[in-house]
Structure 1
Amino acid sequence: MTDATDTKRDWRDTVFLPKTDFPMKAGLASKEPGILERWERIGIYDRLREQRAGRERFLLHDGPPYANGDIHMGHALNKILKDIVVRSQSLLGKDAPYVPGWDCHGLPIEWKVEEQYRKKKLNKDEVDPVAFRAECRAYAEKWVAVQREQFERLGVMGDWEDPYLTMRFESEAIIAGELLKFAESGQLYRGAKPVMWSPVEKTALAEAEVEYENIPSTQIDVAFEIVEAPNAPELVGAHAVIWTTTPWTIPVNQALAYGPEVEYWLTEVEGKQVLVAAEHALYTEFLRRVGKFPSHDEEAEIVATAVRPSQRPDWLNTKLSEITDLKKYKGSDLAGAKARHPMHKLGGFYATPRPLLPGDFVTTDAGTGLVHMAPDHGEDDFLLCKQYADELGTSELPLRPVFAVEGDGRYRENWPWPVDKSLSVINKKLLAPDGPICTDLKEVGALLSARNDESTRHSYPHSWRSKAPLIYRCTPQWFIPMDKGADPVAVDVPSPFGGELPMSTHNGPTLRELALDGIERTRWVPERSKNRIRSMVDGRPDWVISRQRAWGVPIPLYVRKKTGEYLRDKWVNAAILDAFREGGADAWFAADHQKILGDKYDIDEFEVVTDILDVWFDSGSTHAFVLEARYGEGVRADLYLEGSDQHRGWFQSSLLESCGTRGEPPYKAVLTHGFALDDKGRKMSKSLGNVVDPLKIIQESGADILRMWVAQTDYFEDVRIGKQVLAGTSDAYRKLRNSFRYMLGGLDGFTDAEKVDVKDMPELERYVLHLLGDLDTTLREAAEKYEFDVYIRALTDFANEDLSAFFFDIRKDCLYCDAKDDAKRRAYRTVLDTLFHALVRYAAPVLAFTAEEVWQARFPSEDGSVHFLEWPQLPDLSHDRLDADWAAVRSLRERVTEAIEPYRREKTIRSSNEAAVTVPELPMDEVTLAELFIVASVAKRDGDVTVTRTDYDKCGRCWRHLPEVAEEGALCDRCSEVVNP
């Protein structure tokens, strides 16, 4: 028998220290690939589908990224967040499949293939379109394979064996079928109107493909001589002055616009009587009288104050008030007036006088209050000129687009202005103040000012792919109207899903009305994002769905040459879709169109449309060939989840496509996240050298660090990432991992036979179970609200503060030193088991790899996985009432710890076990408090907490200072009983 009074005995071999092979050092970068391989080996995704079959389904529909390069941090943020959502819904017991997908058509891929052509000095337009499309397909296939592997490495679980691709034949057939639904219901038209156009890429662009950059532009003031003015004859011979930042549109001018309620004054510039808005006239006349016009630097300085009365200096107000002798006109006085084009001597198009038209959009906050109209190159221009052309019936000028600018941005060769036709209208040489357009205007005395410097810098649209400037250009395009409802007569067409599906029959509501109503009936997360997309849809123009490119789904229509109407025949449409299913979209370019039309029609009477669909129509149709094709007709997604830029992109195109064909959105809820920025809040860019590569982070630290970072961020806003941010994430991860390691060690050898009923547990254990119940509620609510920053913070705070710093700290003495069958130790280990089962499940959606490692460390199984588990079932504590005010106890414990700390720093007391403390209140008995505070003794005394060094000796086994220890190193009563049973 061991001598319990032996003060020199080393009792460590009698202490029940935790045992586990689970390492503190994670080694995630090397360990995670092995976990991925095992998941693939056991078919974890398919097995989970089998297990959840018949359960409530949760569908997160994956927005397709472009297959054209390695993933970046934005991809990582998006895919990890989606995976956390899907895994958390699966944990809640739902069947939550995830079908990843890729957008494979369109300019991003076509542009990359063209780059290879340009390097070889080859012309893409000379290549057979089917051959070119095959190269685009191969390029997309390559990057789908690369990105798939990279997304899987992030721990994203999904149907990687059968993802959706917009370039699959079946997908292309369904996309074409969705377009034909619009055509059959009359929600499609071809028209010529200005659209955002890329001269570099030679195609129309959607708003979602446009980014804005501040650049200096040449700004000019041009005089148009008034030749008719029926309401103010004295204006004949005066000049209407326009201001523009697009000099290249002057050669296509067809009219001038004035504001009916604007006040105009007649002043003098370089010997010319000029008509401009009153405020502009004021500073122009002032400059003339002081002899400083037209010095542009000084003019700009005066303009900055003169057009803003509240900011004018007193001296300028005084001088301006002296100018009272100018002739004044109201805008309505200009009705019926005409002015001749500065280049009227060129004859032809330029010979006809330009009408002055009333425009409600004309303002005086910039420019001269008169606006030149080029219906080819501006939406306001187009609409105003069309309105008056329609009203006049016939006109000397068409007031219609004249298509002067070609797709590459150059004026067509036969355009009468003798400008260099080899220069694009975005070419700086053409646009410069000393360029050919300004020079020509100057030679005829019409150019009053021209400048291009920092003072002319303004926001200008650019292609987000080529980064080149864009122009508004009128071209024949296919549109889906926003303000026209579907035809009231239903037309049946063959469905891509088999059988017959009735076409949309929204007799009355327009697409805009349906979309706005759908927005109201959708849950938006965060809620404020609803206002953003609503304002976009409320004010958006008709949807331009055509592109003049090669790689994409063609618009499969036949247009009658005589009438311009497209063919609406359900049997022809059925033949088109059959051809698409068999040969994909390529079939349209190599088709025997007479065979498709059949004997009923003659192909010679039709134009075969060769434009392709906007890729946003492709991706907007994905709900049809992912949700409905896989899960049934009419199925909608529970959630769409993408970055905030998709309010004008995928969220909107999906909304419009589905509302136009089904009358409702394809989603029940939409979650928006921000962008990934560097640690200083800047956009990542190679030129700045601040790109944070997710693949490098995975290689160095593991995917779970990246996953935890995503969960920690307030991703409803833009998020930051960098070394310091990741260091904080790694620290939080280590603490949580250490909690799991402690639980695994503390549960070594635990079996169900050791469990204790909750009613038989000490109050501390029951209190911790109550805390676990509160955590469970918090996490459930956070998962339902998709607030995973709240989720992970609650989980880590619980593990660090409630467990490691409190419960584990207090009960380690019990775990190490109580007898193995002691009731309190058994209760503690029972709670540890409950905590383990709960926390490993809670962590699994975020720390997918680590949770698996933790689970396998305790329950090793080749076929098992933590991701097969469901939300934990906790003990029912609804009738359990705690006697103590544990919040007060913990507050007092913190005060005691703070009071001891100075003595520890001075080394007067090396361990809290050496402290004897007094407290002003006793929420429990002294012995229990001493155990909770981990001190030698607790006594009550009025005043603040006090600390002294105890006189008790230290037990040689448990190291507690207790009154029954006879001498230093001897055993306390408990330890003596344990070692001498």
Structure 2
Amino acid sequence: MSDKPNYKETVFLPKTDFPMKAGLPQKEPLILAKWEEEDVYGQLRKARAGREKFILHDGPPYANGDIHIGHALNKTIKDMVVRTQSLLGKDVPYVPGWDCHGLPIEWKIEEQYRKKKRDKNDVPAKEFRAECRDYAAKWVKVQTEQFKRLGNIGDYDRPYLTMRPEAEAQIVAELFKFAETGQLYRGAKPVMWSPVEQTALADAEVEYEDLADSPQIDVAFEIVESKLSELVGAHAVVWTTTPWTIPVNQALAYGPEVDYVLAEGSQGEKWLVAESLFDAFQARIGSERSLTKGMRFKGTELAGTVARHPMHHLGGFYARPRPLLAGHFVTTDSGTGIVHMAPDHGEDDFELCKANGIDPVFAVMGDGRYRDDWPWLGGDDERRRSVINKPFNAPDGPICSDLREAGALLSASADYAHSYPHSWRSKAKVIYRCTPQWFIAIDRPLHHLDPKSLAEERWEEEGGEPNDNGGVDDFPTLREIAMDEIDRVRFVPEKGRRRIQAMVEGRPDWLISRQRAWGVPIALFVEKKTGELLVDPEVNARITAAIREEGVDAWDEARAAEFLGAGRDPDDYEMVRDILDVWFDSGSTHAFVLESGDWSEQRWPADLYLEGSDQHRGWFQSSLLESCGTRGRAPYEAVLTHGFTMDARGKKMSKSLGNTVNPLKVMETSGADIIRLWALSVDFTEDHRIGDEILKGVSDQYRKLRNNFRYMLGALDGFREDECVAPADMPELERYMLHQLSTLDHKLRRAVDDFDFNSYVRMLTDFANEELSAFFFDIRKDCLYCDAPGGLKRRSYRTLLDMLFHAMVRWLAPVLVFTTEEVWGTRYPDGGSVHLLEWPEIGDHRDEALAARWEKLIALREQVNEAIEPLRAEKKIRSSLQAEVTVDSREDPTLLEELFITSTVHPGTQLSVTPTDHAKCGRCWRHLPEVKEDGDLCARCEEVLK
């Protein structure tokens, strides 16, 4: 046993109560409770009162079920925006909100009814809506707690809800603005319709699924009249993947520039098809019908040709002639080059037939069945199943059977592969169905907006002059204003601009009506005699006031006379029963949140809207159109878009596949800070991944950051202000680290401005791991442990550690909201919340010349470490302190010994490393020439111990 003294108690080791083990699932709820008790959000509002504002308007999640990983990502990014802008000293009031109306909630209540064998139609509408309201309120409460558990800060005691009477009244008031300015109209057009949910759907409510077993049929229409006598008696062949639309066919369309041919069969049959599709047609009808090409002609020669429906023998509707019409949309990509027209069930069909005086017949009802009085397939329950379902729409179903019996079915199979629209919510197939609906016109001139002021504002921004064609007198359309605003608004990433541009540029009029019960009513009166919409500001004011007082239940037929006022007979007016598309609800939230007195700290327009990339066709667009149509500009200055979360293999998450990641379970096992660190570490502007291994990597990253804080807390034990050293008096290494800190400060500010949180987190973690733990802390641990407390080097190090602590705890506070609160409270138990602090004042200590010198020294250090490693691997030494280094450098050997953490450094012509023969100091463990034998003290340690 050695008789040397044990100097362990004389070393100044870091001392802290901050635990290495995080225990986040247990600690985070306690911290949350403390925030609630101390009203940290309220404190923050008071602390930032009067400062520059930054408004992030929350896009409303749907009040329907527990949150999923997409919610966690979205809300974490929003919280990061709020906290980083607040950290910069701005006043950032955040009002969370929820979408509460619409089909998903109504569908859930109907599901409950079906389980109880109840029919929704037997329940009074007011009672049904009350159940929907209660359901939404329940999930708002649940999701509120889940979002707060994620560490999100905001006015969760006063969220905005689209089902609040005040909100419903404002939504109706926004609708009236469109009505009063002539942008609103009712028209019969084919719209996406869900037979299962029995309502029209917006584009954003439709998704597409690849099908491989769709039907495809070729049907012959006998030509009975034509300028080309050779065509009379021949058959025009149409090809379709929707056999169910044949019963409502009213015309055929040909391509004017398409080359056609008469395909002649061996029995004298003649079929009209596009020449380029002749072979494909032959293949479908079978080789037993050997065809030859007969007469050829251009599509233009088909003008005036008339055919008859295969079921003409039924009379009535089917006895009418079916004209062949020129359709520029007809292509020869597939089919026969002749398209059958059903204006009830196709946009091109509707427009072409309308232009030729052919109107829809509304044969298909809301549940997808033909009307009882329809001459073909109506009245027989067995044959009236929903038109798109099997077996009705199959090659062996009643439609094809009847066509086959009539000799008009040339081919039928169920092997066609294509993409088919489905309802986003029910996952059921949808159809195009023509029904009377309410629309907002996109291309109608907006006479209520001053074109002069709008144009001059654009000219001023663009630095141009008025156009020569009198543009100042041209009233803009909603589409034109929206496109101009898309050009002006900032999009992050930039590709979002192109995405929404394409959508707005090509979109149809905005379909805003739905045929459901749970939603904001289209609270309008239509005069029965004329079909004219009643536009009366006084009537509208009475309706709005009633809804503000009582909610949507106020729109009741019993109150029609009250709303209409004296001088109008309620019997003369139709009270519209449709409800508004929920996208109109959410598109109006800027009006009742940013402009409303309920949240006086808000302001219009918002600085930022932030949602997933699907919202270019959803909330971003509905908000843009609503605001441009009523206010002449977008309700936001910038739009930030995130991608979607995939599983670890890059596949879309699905409960059926079992590859989902539940954020609630992750918080239970690992903590919310792990979810937050993941969400802000990925490049969320693109689609990104999550999985067990990915989260394990995030946890490792978290542990390193936590240990970084633990080291700083321990190293700063007992630190006092009178220890501080001015930057100019610090050693060179500290001044180099100040340069690094200043450089990082500038980069982080830029990342916040760019909403580049992936880079923000990466820069912080890299700085903590590489610049601090692996470099600065590693080099200075000897100084911290063994130098005299009053020594300049040790005081300089602790001064800089204090700066680093204050910077890192603030910078990471928006990311690791719970951990940084724990860190701050450990050092300052009475220091309040870390989230009340502002951006650290680093100052500009950048010194590029010093940085260039130290970059060379660091490169040399890396070379030395590589040279030492073989000796360590061969167990010739256990640590770098046992190594002697020869290096080609004129630097002070003492500086290099600190930098390399080695015994001694000798100047030489090439790099070499050998084990040292010097004895080890019993206190600092360095091997030095002055130490005579192991366990003795070096000169520094002797001086310190005196």
Using the size of structure 1 for normalisation, the TM-score is 0.92
Structure 2 residue 882 is the aligned partner of structure 1 residue 914 = yes
The within-5 A match list for 1:706-725 is 706-725=675-694
Deviation at 1:620, TM superposition (A): 0.3
Deviation at 1:291, TM superposition (A): 3.9
Structure 2 residue 869 is the aligned partner of structure 1 residue 901 = yes
Q: Tell me if structure 2 keeps the 8 A contact 1:11–1:956.
A: yes
Structure 2 residue 319 is the aligned partner of structure 1 residue 351 = yes
Between the aligned partners of 1:951 and 1:18, the Cα distance in structure 2 is 30
What letter corresponds to residue 472 of structure 1 in structure 2? Answer: Y
Deviation at 1:597, TM superposition (A): 1.1
Between the aligned partners of 2:284 and 2:122, the Cα distance in structure 1 is 58
1:959 to 920, 925, 928: 925
Between the aligned partners of 1:608 and 1:187, the Cα distance in structure 2 is 19
Change (3 A) 1:718 1:883: closer
Structure 2 residue 215 is the aligned partner of structure 1 residue 218 = yes
Between the aligned partners of 1:847 and 1:87, the Cα distance in structure 2 is 11
Change (3 A) 1:829 1:477: same
Q: Tell me if structure 1 keeps the 8 A contact 2:93–2:601.
A: no
Deviation at 1:489, TM superposition (A): 8.7
Map of 1:243 onto structure 2 = 239
Map of 1:184 onto structure 2 = 180
Between the aligned partners of 1:377 and 1:286, the Cα distance in structure 2 is 28
Deviation at 1:121, TM superposition (A): 1.2
Structure 2 residue 812 is the aligned partner of structure 1 residue 843 = yes
Map of 1:467 onto structure 2 = 427
Between the aligned partners of 2:864 and 2:374, the Cα distance in structure 1 is 90
Map of 1:521 onto structure 2 = 488
Map of 2:701 onto structure 1 = 732
Between the aligned partners of 1:287 and 1:866, the Cα distance in structure 2 is 73
Structure 2 residue 373 is the aligned partner of structure 1 residue 414 = yes
1:662 to 606, 631, 643: 631
Deviation at 1:652, TM superposition (A): 0.6
The within-5 A match list for 1:492-571 is 508-571=475-538
1:43 to 36, 39, 44: 39
Between the aligned partners of 1:925 and 1:915, the Cα distance in structure 2 is 17
Deviation at 1:560, TM superposition (A): 0.4
1:150 to 146, 153, 168: 146
Deviation at 1:418, TM superposition (A): 3.5
What letter corresponds to residue 59 of structure 2 in structure 1? Answer: G
Deviation at 1:85, TM superposition (A): 1.1
The within-5 A match list for 1:937-956 is 937-943=904-910, 945-956=911-922
Between the aligned partners of 2:148 and 2:805, the Cα distance in structure 1 is 27
Between the aligned partners of 2:531 and 2:282, the Cα distance in structure 1 is 54
Between the aligned partners of 2:681 and 2:184, the Cα distance in structure 1 is 46
Aligned to 2:333, the other structure's residue is in SS state: coil
For residues 497-523 of structure 1, the C-alpha deviation after alignment (integer angstroms, 9 at most, x for no partner) is: xxxxxxxx9971111111111111111
What letter corresponds to residue 850 of structure 1 in structure 2? Answer: T
For residues 657-711 of structure 1, the C-alpha deviation after alignment (integer angstroms, 9 at most, x for no partner) is: 0000001111111111111111111111111111110000000000000000001
Change (3 A) 1:102 1:721: same
Between the aligned partners of 1:658 and 1:619, the Cα distance in structure 2 is 12
Deviation at 1:911, TM superposition (A): 1.1
The within-5 A match list for 1:254-333 is 254-269=250-265, 271=267, 272-284=269-281, 291-293=287-289, 326-333=294-301
Instruction: Give the unaligned 5+ runs of structure 1.
Output: 1-5, 295-319, 390-398, 491-504
Q: Tell me if structure 2 keeps the 8 A contact 1:241–1:368.
A: yes
Map of 1:204 onto structure 2 = 200
Change (3 A) 1:178 1:384: same
Aligned residues: 917
Deviation at 1:875, TM superposition (A): 3.7
Change (3 A) 1:407 1:506: farther
The within-5 A match list for 1:744-755 is 744-755=713-724
Taking only the aligned residue pairs, the percentage that are identical comes to 65
Structure 2 residue 652 is the aligned partner of structure 1 residue 690 = no
Deviation at 1:880, TM superposition (A): 9.0
Between the aligned partners of 1:905 and 1:282, the Cα distance in structure 2 is 74
What letter corresponds to residue 254 of structure 2 in structure 1? Answer: Y
Map of 1:114 onto structure 2 = 110
What letter corresponds to residue 584 of structure 1 in structure 2? Answer: G
For residues 246-305 of structure 1, the C-alpha deviation after alignment (integer angstroms, 9 at most, x for no partner) is: 0000000000000000000001247420000002224546899x94449xxxxxxxxxxx
What letter corresponds to residue 482 of structure 1 in structure 2? Answer: I
Map of 1:297 onto structure 2 = none
Q: Tell me if structure 2 keeps the 8 A contact 1:287–1:293.
A: no
Map of 1:393 onto structure 2 = none
1:759 to 728, 732, 735: 728
1:431 to 393, 396, 400: 393
Between the aligned partners of 1:753 and 1:623, the Cα distance in structure 2 is 52
Aligned to 2:356, the other structure's residue is in SS state: helix
Q: Tell me if structure 2 keeps the 8 A contact 1:129–1:589.
A: no
Between the aligned partners of 1:100 and 1:360, the Cα distance in structure 2 is 49
Between the aligned partners of 2:611 and 2:791, the Cα distance in structure 1 is 54
Q: Tell me if structure 1 keeps the 8 A contact 2:78–2:610.
A: yes
Between the aligned partners of 1:426 and 1:247, the Cα distance in structure 2 is 9
Q: Tell me if structure 2 keeps the 8 A contact 1:266–1:281.
A: no
Change (3 A) 1:131 1:697: same
Map of 2:418 onto structure 1 = 458
Map of 1:405 onto structure 2 = 364
Between the aligned partners of 1:879 and 1:676, the Cα distance in structure 2 is 42
Using the size of structure 2 for normalisation, the TM-score is 0.95
What letter corresponds to residue 620 of structure 2 in structure 1? Answer: F
Between the aligned partners of 1:463 and 1:407, the Cα distance in structure 2 is 15
Map of 2:577 onto structure 1 = 610
Deviation at 1:790, TM superposition (A): 0.4
Between the aligned partners of 1:550 and 1:714, the Cα distance in structure 2 is 41
Between the aligned partners of 2:284 and 2:148, the Cα distance in structure 1 is 68
For residues 612-658 of structure 1, the C-alpha deviation after alignment (integer angstroms, 9 at most, x for no partner) is: 00000000000001111134897111111111111111111111100
Aligned to 1:585, the other structure's residue is in SS state: helix
Between the aligned partners of 2:289 and 2:812, the Cα distance in structure 1 is 72
Structure 2 residue 858 is the aligned partner of structure 1 residue 890 = yes
What letter corresponds to residue 801 of structure 1 in structure 2? Answer: E
Deviation at 1:602, TM superposition (A): 1.4
What letter corresponds to residue 436 of structure 1 in structure 2? Answer: P
Aligned to 1:928, the other structure's residue is in SS state: helix
For residues 100-149 of structure 1, the C-alpha deviation after alignment (integer angstroms, 9 at most, x for no partner) is: 10000000100000111111111111211111100000000000000000
- Which segment is superposed worse, 661-670 or 268-277? 268-277
Map of 2:131 onto structure 1 = 135
Between the aligned partners of 1:373 and 1:703, the Cα distance in structure 2 is 56
Map of 1:934 onto structure 2 = 901
Change (3 A) 1:369 1:883: closer
Aligned to 2:407, the other structure's residue is in SS state: coil
1:64 to 60, 66, 85: 60
Deviation at 1:487, TM superposition (A): 3.5
Between the aligned partners of 2:160 and 2:473, the Cα distance in structure 1 is 30
Change (3 A) 1:813 1:287: closer
What letter corresponds to residue 411 of structure 1 in structure 2? Answer: Y
Map of 1:227 onto structure 2 = 224
Between the aligned partners of 2:660 and 2:879, the Cα distance in structure 1 is 47
Deviation at 1:57, TM superposition (A): 0.6
Q: Tell me if structure 2 keeps the 8 A contact 1:554–1:585.
A: yes
Change (3 A) 1:741 1:418: closer
Map of 2:937 onto structure 1 = 971
Deviation at 1:780, TM superposition (A): 0.8
Deviation at 1:792, TM superposition (A): 0.5
Between the aligned partners of 1:120 and 1:951, the Cα distance in structure 2 is 88
What letter corresponds to residue 619 of structure 2 in structure 1? Answer: W
Between the aligned partners of 2:666 and 2:576, the Cα distance in structure 1 is 48
Map of 2:839 onto structure 1 = 871
Q: Tell me if structure 1 keeps the 8 A contact 2:186–2:437.
A: yes
